Amino acid sequence: MDDEGVHEAVVREAFRQRWLVLGRRRPRHAEAAAEEGGERSGERAGQCVTGIQGRCHAHSCLRFWTKDRDAVSSRAIRKCAIYGFPGDGINGEVPGDQWQKEGDGGMAQDAATPWHVEASRYPATGPDIDKYRFLLRYAILAPSSHNTQPWLFRVFDDHLEVIADRSRALPVVDPIDRELVISCGAAIGMIRASLLRFGYSGDIELLPDSADKDLLARVKLGSPHEPTLADQARFAAITRRRSTRRKFEDGPLPPGLAEELGELAQVDELELAVITGSEAKSDVAELVAEADREQHKDPEFRKELSEWLTSRRTSSRDGMSLASFGAPDILSSVGGFIIRTLDVGRRVAANDKLLASNSPALVVIATRDDSPRDWLAAGMMHVTALLAVTARGLTAAYLNQPIELAKSRPRLKVLAGVSGVPQLLFRIGRGPAVKPAVRRDLEEVLVRSPPARVKP
């Protein structure tokens, strides 16, 4: 069965399950399925959740939703995986819940929120599989673009796997899944920081299967490692790290921090530039402002952003609260609507310009090339840097807009004086305490190995 056929099978199943199918375009097969009694809701940009490799026009149009957005994405992928993928031979059967989310081995009850993890509960004397599960409690606290949390994990007796959840892609702001992969790299970085703290060197193989682009890493414990004080401090910072989109205090960076960040980048063979001069900071700030204006002009960008903005009153476990942007509570419920319908680019630009130029330092991380392997490395390295910053009592906020726009990325490269490709831009400094952003529970992102496929 070709891509189109798989897609049709998934759409039919979606209608059978009475999921809402939302799409920018109205593909022929969705219309046909709708005639069979499916439910359809308004036109909305979305990305195919079938997880089929590559992008095809038929796939870029649909997204399935139930009342619970998270559940439907993973279910749709699961169902699709059970149907099979192009070339595998598809039997159209949905054999129950064979590929289910895995339980957590009884560890859920101690955590009121995913941010509440007690290192003392690490199963040091337990089987390795319990250790892998425990490490993932830290992985899910990683930052991610729009807080999409685009990761899935599989745990085995002797290793764990990190898988890209492309149903959580941001096709407008991140059309080639660059930031999606960086976000997964950030989760791998959190696993690495936890491994070091719990006495393992970590053995991380990036992109271990050339035939499976979604399998981003295979992680083993590695050899015994004596945790250094820095390892312990960075690990302890995992649950305290926040993206703080507020004004930072004026004043210099703590002595030695810029050097520490530079050394961390060298370990991962990446480039890191710390910009502290006022003129250089205002040049970068101007670039950020330009990118803000440009991005907000695009209704598709605003629509996508608004879909990931949440009100304080919702129980959503992904996306960004408007409060995290400093919006007053009264605006929380209407903020998404405002962003979607009005071009507030000038206002956003003016605000970001002030925030960027008045922060003690701007940091740019660059890689040699611009491949998924580079993105993973940037994701891993930058969270190590963020943890080092947090360990010193500072905080950070991303300003990735000039990197997201193809035309401003080369200009940032020049301003930052890096020879490679800029992947991340953030500001660092002392900021006010802010609430942690929401997270999905570990149980939601743990998947079992897919069942063996039956060849026709």
245 lines the binding site for ligand FMN (CB under 6 A): yes
Say whether 34 sits in a helix, a strand or coil.
helix
398, 408, 421, 444: residue in contact with ligand FMN (rule CB under 6 A): 398
State in angstroms the smallest separation of the CB of 90 from ligand FMN: 35
* CA-closest candidate to residue 243, choices 432, 422, 378: 432
Determine the straight-line distance between the first and last CA of the chain, rounded to whole angstroms.
12
7, 146, 409, 413: residue in contact with ligand FMN (rule CB under 6 A): 146
Other CB atoms within 10 Å distance of the CB of residue 97: 12
Could you tell me which stretch among 5-13, 97-105, 164-172, 239-247 binds ligand FMN (CB under 6 A)? 239-247
235 lines the binding site for ligand FMN (CB under 6 A): no
> Which phi and psi angles does 101 have, rounded to 5°?
-65, 140
> Which phi and psi angles does 165 have, rounded to 5°?
-105, 90
Binding mask 73-112 for ligand FMN (x = CB under 6 A): ----------------------------------------
What is the per-residue DSSP string for 150-162? -EEEEE-SS-EEE
Could you tell me which stretch among 16-24, 52-60, 106-114, 181-189 binds ligand FMN (CB under 6 A)? 181-189
Nearer to ligand FMN, 30 or 141 (CB): 141
Site for ligand FMN in 312-331 (CB under 6 A): 320
User: Regarding beta strands 160-164 and 215-220, do their DSSP bridges make them parallel or antiparallel, or are they unpaired?
Assistant: antiparallel
47, 50, 73, 145: residue in contact with ligand FMN (rule CB under 6 A): 145
Q: Let me know: does 338 contact 325? Beta carbons within 8 Å.
A: no
390 lines the binding site for ligand FMN (CB under 6 A): no
Nearer to ligand FMN, 146 or 168 (CB): 146
70, 179, 283, 307: residue in contact with ligand FMN (rule CB under 6 A): 179
Helices (H), 50-114: 69-83
295 lines the binding site for ligand FMN (CB under 6 A): no
What is the per-residue DSSP string for 399-451? --HHHHSTTTHHHHHHHHT-SSEEEEEEEEE-----PPPP---HHHHBBPPPP
182 lines the binding site for ligand FMN (CB under 6 A): yes
Q: Alpha-carbon distance 274 to 254, whole Å?
A: 13
147 lines the binding site for ligand FMN (CB under 6 A): yes
Closest residue to ligand FMN: CB criterion: 143
Q: Let me know: does 371 contact 429? Beta carbons within 8 Å.
A: no
State in angstroms the smallest separation of the CB of 136 from ligand FMN: 16
* CA-closest candidate to residue 195, choices 53, 441, 384: 384
168 lines the binding site for ligand FMN (CB under 6 A): no
Q: Let me know: does 105 contact 133? Beta carbons within 8 Å.
A: yes
Binding mask 183-202 for ligand FMN (x = CB under 6 A): x--x----------------
144 lines the binding site for ligand FMN (CB under 6 A): yes
* CA-closest candidate to residue 329, choices 311, 309, 348: 311
133, 242, 302, 427: residue in contact with ligand FMN (rule CB under 6 A): 242
Residue 189 is which amino acid?
Answer: G
Could you tell me which stretch among 55-63, 90-98, 140-148, 297-305 binds ligand FMN (CB under 6 A)? 140-148
Nearer to ligand FMN, 81 or 394 (CB): 394
State in angstroms the smallest separation of the CB of 166 from ligand FMN: 15
Nearer to ligand FMN, 72 or 397 (CB): 397
Nearer to ligand FMN, 221 or 403 (CB): 403
Say whether 224 sits in a helix, a strand or coil.
strand
Q: How many CA atoms lie within 13 A of 54 on its CB side?
A: 7
Q: Alpha-carbon distance 348 to 355, whole Å?
A: 11
Say whether 245 sits in a helix, a strand or coil.
coil
50, 167, 243, 395: residue in contact with ligand FMN (rule CB under 6 A): 243
Q: Let me know: does 422 contact 412? Beta carbons within 8 Å.
A: yes
Binding residue count for ligand FMN, defined by CB under 6 A = 18
Our CA angle for 316, 318, 321, nearest 5°, is 75
172 lines the binding site for ligand FMN (CB under 6 A): no
Q: Alpha-carbon distance 271 to 424, whole Å?
A: 11
State in angstroms the smallest separation of the CB of 432 from ligand FMN: 13
**Contacts to ligand FMN by CB under 6 A:** 143-147, 179, 182-183, 186, 242-243, 245, 320, 398-401, 437
